[in-house]
Amino acid sequence: MTAPHRRTLSRGGRRRLTGIAMTTPALAMITLFFFVPFVMMLWMSLHDWPLLGQHRFIGLKNYRHALHDTEFRTAVIFTVKYTLVTTPVLFVLGLALALLVRHKRRGARFFQAVYFLPVVVGLASAAFLWLFMFQSDIGPAGDLADHLGLGSRTTNWFAGSTSAMLVVVSMVTWKVVGLQMLLLLTGLQSIPTEVEEAARIDGASRVQTFRYVILPLLRPTLALVLVFSVAGSLLAFDQFYVMTGGGPANSTITAVYEIYRTSFIRFQLGYGSALSALLMIVLAAVSATQLLLLRSSDR
Amino acid sequence: MRFRRAMAAGALLTSVALLGTACGGSGSDTPGSGSGTVTLWARDSQKSFINILADAWNKDHDTKVKVTVVPSANFVQKFGTAAAGGTGPDVASIDLVYLPYFASTGVLDDITDLANKLPYKDGLSAAHRRLATYNGRTYALPFTAEASVLFYNKGLFRKAGLDPDKPPTNYAEIISAAKKIRALGKDTYGYAIAGQCGGCNVFEFTPHIWASGGDVLTADGKKALFNTPEVTDALTFYRKLYTDGSMPAQSKTDTGTIQPALFQSGKLGMTPLGAFFLPVLRKDDKVDFGVAPLPGRNGGSASFAGGDEIAVTKNAKNKAKAQEFVRWATGEQAQTVLAQNGIVPVRTDLIDKIYTPLDPRYKVLAEAMEKGRTPYSTVENALFNDNNGPWVRMINRAVFDGDIAKAQKEGQQAAQSIIDDAP
Amino acid sequence: METDSRNLVAAIRQSLPRAAWWAVCASLAVLFLYPLYVMLSQSLKTPGEAAAAPPTPYPHRLSLDNFRALGGDTGIDIVASAGNSLLVSLGATLATVVLSTVAGYGFARLRFPGSNILFYATLATFMIPFQAVITPLYLLLNNLGLQDSLLGLAAVYTTFQLPFGLFLMRNSFAAVPRSLEEAALIDGCGILKALVRVVLPVAVPGAVTTALLTFFSCWNEFFAALILITDQDKFTLPVSLSVLASGSFGSVDWGVLQAGVAVTIVPCVVIYLLLQKYYVGGLLSGAVK
């Protein structure tokens, strides 16, 4: 009587155990090399912890200070502004490129490789490259603008907050859009062509097919792309450190840049940790929202 | 089938890779143990000579010095983190402006006795010695010297009708020379600064203030003097250079990467830089240049004494040998090696023997170094070197936005609060 | 006559989209390649010409001086650094791919209580700025005896690449219809066999993407490599390049820097071209029947 019952249970149980076994190595690694330092960081955030010297437990004082810190607040606002500009640009362009190279035409793979090429350049290297390109007087981009009548060789592209940010956005777009294109391509390729063809046969226009058939099936990929894109933008640092140095007049300092200054220039590791914890809470909330909104209905 | 082979290959590669990294990683257990090695950290700006120096020592000594060159921009973080974790080097060559900080946090070994026993003690750069002293004890010896001077393009001077052998000696003369050179052409500029670089400006701008009789900090570093008339005059001087159009647009945002390149290209009349730049220009052999002392408002001159000090760390494993190396580094043999590689020696008693004869322009540098001064502060990094800190903000705002009085007032406030908040 | 011209118009109209496609793609390609051209031309200029203002559009005299400067008369062995980078990047890449593939399948198919929460918790790894945890990480590696070791660095890299790999692989496996798996299971395969025979081929694009991105991230990573490695012999490429390209006072030798970047890119391009074959191949052959 109980025999078939037991067999089903053990099968499900075996699946679960295998699941646990399969996920354990990755989880173990993340626990050891991330969660342990993370907890240490939280512990540090409750202290006045200079890089060198004695530590002092001060409870939540760092967090209280952070909420009144105007420099940090300005940095966060700028970071949000930057994210709001970069994310749609990257996504729209990435999607456009993916749709372009999706065709099975002869040049498609070549163009796909070309658009992906900047991804293999390191972020700091790309930042230095574009910093050089847009220098007044010795930069080729300024020179090109001069020849094309779009600007003068002596314009300092980094002297205005907006123009400085836009140069950085352009650099990041150039470097990262190929990756988004690739990820979206993977997502697009996993949609069986029969589904698309069926929609077209039913009379849907290309745009309609895209909106009602492709986009919903693309949701998991969209979630992946957007979550990491937004996270990457909210955590932006290297590109501003190299290209604008936080300027002009500290107007392009991002949240992580401020954390870097706190921890590594003012050597206040405790306060820096508190700021990081706050930033993470923001990020987690934003990511959770994104995942909820983009959750696939058939799960 | 193909998959199984791929998996096997993958597994093999992983194990080889991990094994390789494991083997690569196990050699670091006991640096500097026994008579073996003394580890030395230097900054990348010293890479051209530090290995030559180490080789000179290793030739005659059993204990070998092992050099690690660290990127300058991150030296303080790396050294600080390592010191905090107890895994730093035995000996470190540290930018002298950071000495008060490191000395005050207890990561350096007290070498007062060693320093006092040196026969040439008084011939060592005074500025270096002052910065290495904390609470009356000495924590490092002077190692390399740097001085800030005015570089000027003799070719452009001639073209502008200026005497190439008579460089400017006060603010007014610089302003007028810069204007004349700017008038030479659309692409030619009279004067350039690195407007977003704190370290550059404390190095190049402060001497103008000193030569005019002022200062940016009190001698004990406890009070900021940003809001003083000499600072106002100096800021006004820079501002005039900018409003005259003598400065290129990039000076506003340059973090120090562009200023030297522009002078190298031959399109810049004058710029303040340091001794490090001389060998670069000589190697290029493109610009006919001269060097002059940085003047004050009405004459006089001053210079920022920069460079490195060499210290033994508290956690050094081979202290006796480390101290011996540190002492050797200030001796004649070591300092001569430095001089031959274009570095200003810290031995003012030897400078005319080993350095000045190597190039006629070195004389200006030697004199600048002897007169050199350095601000003393345990919060130098947050105060001056931070490219987003109060020093840079004040200069940038005053020179490029124009509201000098406001910039000074806010700069003074911010600077003083950093000093007051220091542990 | 009329049919001819109508055919011609039809032919033109047919080829217009294709021509337009080529025009758009080609102009974009020029935009994308321009900065890389600048980098290459800058690296091949003489040091004097590299600092010229206004800049020359191409090297008037080809010179390998900048590349020679990388050769290092300054004690930095760039070949050894490249070797270190290769070891660390390959190690981290393989570890990441293997771990995220296995775990991704576990999260996608073999649910257990709490698996969802654990999965989203791993994403937290991505939400902390690296600067924040670097000092605790440094101290942790110290305690584990992994300080100043390439193995420790590879382990850190693996950990921080895992969230992306997990997400991607979980997505890939989830996209495989259960019917396919069920069919294989009914045919008598064990879970592992079902995984290898049926599911894995479809997950190849995801695995290749994970591998590519992990490799590039590790290969180009600077900050952790700088702080966690102290022995110059174990420096990775980005750290060595930063030392070689620096002048004093934060000034940059543009020519040497670009030469260094050019050198850095080559292995990445090679790996991309190698893996791209499997990637595209996987797409074509792994199509769901």
The answer to whether the CB atoms of B17 and C94 lie below 8 A apart is: yes
Q: What does the DSSP 8-state code read for residue B108? A: B
Tell me: do B61 and B119 sit in the same domain: yes
* Residue range(s) defining the domain that contains residue A14: 3-36
Q: Give the domain CATH number at C185.
A: 1.10.3720.10
Residues of chain B found within 8 Å of residue A159, distances taken between Cβ atoms? 249, 252-253
pLDDT band at A131; cut points 50, 70, 90: confident
Domain count along chain A: 2
Tell me: do B106 and B47 sit in the same domain: yes
Tell me: do B90 and B176 sit in the same domain: no
Q: Single out the residue in B370, B393, B411 at which a domain terminates.
A: B370
Tell me: do A66 and A24 sit in the same domain: no
* Nearest residue to C240 via CA among C69, C51, C39: C69
Residues of chain B found within 8 Å of residue A253, distances taken between Cβ atoms? 388
Percent of chain B whose predicted confidence (pLDDT) is above 70: 91
Task: Give the distance from CA C9 to its chain's centroid.
Answer: 46
Tell me: do C57 and C76 sit in the same domain: no
The answer to whether the CB atoms of A246 and B387 lie below 8 A apart is: yes
Tell me: do B256 and B119 sit in the same domain: no
The answer to whether the CB atoms of A111 and C109 lie below 8 A apart is: no
The answer to whether the CB atoms of C151 and B262 lie below 8 A apart is: no
H or E element at residue C36: helix C2-43
Tell me: do A192 and A232 sit in the same domain: yes
Tell me: do B43 and B130 sit in the same domain: yes
Please tell me the distance in Å from C286's CA to the nearest CA on chain A.
9
Note the pTM of the prediction, 2 decimals.
0.84
Indicate whether A50 belongs to any domain: no
Cβ-based neighbours of A196, under 8 Å, separated by 6 or more: A209, A213, A214
Tell me: do A28 and A139 sit in the same domain: no
Indicate whether B8 belongs to any domain: no
Tell me: do B172 and B142 sit in the same domain: no
Tell me: do C235 and C150 sit in the same domain: yes
The answer to whether the CB atoms of C269 and A120 lie below 8 A apart is: yes
Q: How many CB pairs under 8 A join B and C?
A: 160
pLDDT band at A97; cut points 50, 70, 90: very high
pLDDT band at C2; cut points 50, 70, 90: low
pLDDT at B313 over 70: yes
Residues of chain A found within 8 Å of residue B258, distances taken between Cβ atoms? 135, 138
The answer to whether the CB atoms of B87 and C147 lie below 8 A apart is: yes
* Among candidates A146, A182, A231 on the partner chain, residue whose Cβ is nearest the Cβ of C209: A182
Tell me: do A25 and A89 sit in the same domain: no
Is the separation of the CB atoms in C84 and C267 below 8 Å? no
Tell me: do A144 and A261 sit in the same domain: yes
Tell me: do C125 and C194 sit in the same domain: yes
**pLDDT tens figures, A199-253:** 778 877 777 777 777 888 888 888 889 998 999 999 999 899 888 888 788 899 9
Indicate whether A43 belongs to any domain: no
Tell me: do C91 and C161 sit in the same domain: yes
Tell me: do C29 and C114 sit in the same domain: no
Tell me: do C59 and C97 sit in the same domain: no
The answer to whether the CB atoms of B28 and C148 lie below 8 A apart is: yes
Tell me: do B221 and B187 sit in the same domain: yes
Choice among A55-69, B94-108, B370-384, C8-22 with the minimum mean pLDDT: C8-22
pLDDT at A299 over 70: no
* Burial class for A204, CB neighbours closer than 10 Å (0-12, 13-18, 19+): middle
Tell me: do A245 and A107 sit in the same domain: yes
pLDDT of residue B7: 42
Tell me: do B315 and B299 sit in the same domain: no
Quick check: helix, strand or coil at residue B331?
coil
Q: Give the domain CATH number at B212.
A: 3.40.190.10
Tell me: do A139 and A277 sit in the same domain: yes
Q: Which two tokens stand for residue B8?
A: 């096997």
pLDDT at C289 over 50: no
Tell me: do B339 and B404 sit in the same domain: no
* Among candidates B76, B80, B253 on the partner chain, residue whose Cβ is nearest the Cβ of A247: B253
The answer to whether the CB atoms of A103 and C21 lie below 8 A apart is: yes
Tell me: do B142 and B154 sit in the same domain: no
Cβ-based neighbours of A288, under 8 Å, separated by 6 or more: C120
Q: Single out the residue in B370, B393, B412 at which a domain terminates.
A: B370
Residues 103-142 of C with CB under 8 A from B: 134-135, 138-139, 142
Residues of chain A found within 8 Å of residue C129, distances taken between Cβ atoms? 235, 237, 255-256, 259-260, 276, 279
Most confident of A225-239, B6-20, C66-80: A225-239
Is the separation of the CB atoms in B280 and C253 below 8 Å? no
Domain count along chain C: 2
pLDDT band at B246; cut points 50, 70, 90: very high
The answer to whether the CB atoms of C242 and B71 lie below 8 A apart is: yes
Tell me: do A13 and A90 sit in the same domain: no
Residues of chain A found within 8 Å of residue B395, distances taken between Cβ atoms? none
Range B248-276 average pLDDT: 89
Tell me: do C19 and C104 sit in the same domain: no
Range A277-298 average pLDDT: 83
Residues of chain A found within 8 Å of residue C257, distances taken between Cβ atoms? 128
Range A86-110 average pLDDT: 88
Indicate whether A120 belongs to any domain: yes
The answer to whether the CB atoms of A261 and B386 lie below 8 A apart is: yes
pLDDT of residue B109: 93
Is the separation of the CB atoms in C224 and C189 below 8 Å? no
pLDDT band at C274; cut points 50, 70, 90: confident
Please calculate the CA angle B350-B354-B357 and round it to the nearest 5 degrees.
120
Tell me: do C139 and C221 sit in the same domain: yes
* Residue range(s) defining the domain that contains residue B196: 147-303+376-421
Q: Give the domain CATH number at A178.
A: 1.10.3720.10
Q: Single out the residue in B370, B386, B413 at which a domain terminates.
A: B370
Residues of chain C found within 8 Å of residue B315, distances taken between Cβ atoms? none
pLDDT at B265 over 90: no
Tell me: do B142 and B205 sit in the same domain: no
> Is B250 near chain A, with CB under 8 Å?
yes
* Among candidates C84, C98, C149 on the partner chain, residue whose Cβ is nearest the Cβ of B28: C149
Establish whether the linkage from the previous residue to B229 is cis, with ω within 30° of 0.
Answer: no
Residues of chain C found within 8 Å of residue A273, distances taken between Cβ atoms? 132
pLDDT of residue C188: 63
Q: Single out the residue in C67, C88, C120 at which a domain terminates.
A: C67
Top residue of A104, A131, A171, A190 to mutate, by most chain C CBs within 10 Å, is: A190
Tell me: do C129 and C215 sit in the same domain: yes
Tell me: do B294 and B414 sit in the same domain: yes
Indicate whether A13 belongs to any domain: yes
Domain count along chain B: 2
* Residue range(s) defining the domain that contains residue C21: 2-67
Tell me: do A148 and A10 sit in the same domain: no
**pLDDT tens figures, C145-195:** 888 899 999 999 999 999 989 988 888 888 777 777 677 667 666 666 666
Neighbours of C201 (CB within 10 A): 14
